[in-house]
Copies of this chain bind each other. A is one copy, B any other.
Amino acid sequence: MGKAEASAWPAFLTAHTLVVEAIEARLAEAGLPELAWYDVLWALERAPSGRLRMHELAAATVISRSNMTRLIDRLEAAGLVTRVRECDDRRGAYAALTPAGRVMRRKMWQVYGRAIEEMFDRHLTREESTAMRAMLLRIVDGARASN
């Protein structure tokens, strides 16, 4: 037997910090922007129209709305995204991917994808990967359900 209690939580926290830091370091040393930019670019690229309302983007990326406003400010200043106010609901605004945004996303993925493989997936068998994904999705669903 031994310890019945061995939560994965502490390891989860540590793994997150270490791997995210390592990924950010790789992006930085390649002269590329931070992870949050990738999330936005990727969310927009997945959107059929290549554009998303600010609050949709916030929901899709798990970033708060006020931070999304300012994140898009920076992405826009970098020419990776455009704000579009032509919109049925005149309160709202779209963020739309530019061609430069698509190029950047691809460049980031070259580094990011490799890093995920080398620092995360590399340590898991295919079955473990599948199992972990299933567990984490349950946790995500639970968290979303309890708001």
CB-based nearest B residue for A119: B143
Cβ–Cβ < 8 Å partners of A11 in chain B = 132-133, 136-137, 140
Q: Is the interface of A mostly helix, strand, loop or mixed?
A: helix
How many of these chains are in the complex? 2
User: Roughly how many angstroms separate A137 CA and B14 CA in the complex, as a whole number?
Assistant: 9
**Which of the residues B8, B129, B143, B146 comes within 8 Å of A8, measured between beta carbons?**
B129
Interface residue total, chain A, C-beta cutoff 8 A: 40
- Nearest-CB distance from A59 to chain B (Å)? 11
User: Roughly how many angstroms separate A6 CA and B136 CA in the complex, as a whole number?
Assistant: 12
Known: A15-B140, A138-B123, A139-B19. A6 touches B133 (CB 8 A): yes
B15–A139 touching, CB < 8 Å? yes
User: Roughly how many angstroms separate A12 CA and B140 CA in the complex, as a whole number?
Assistant: 9
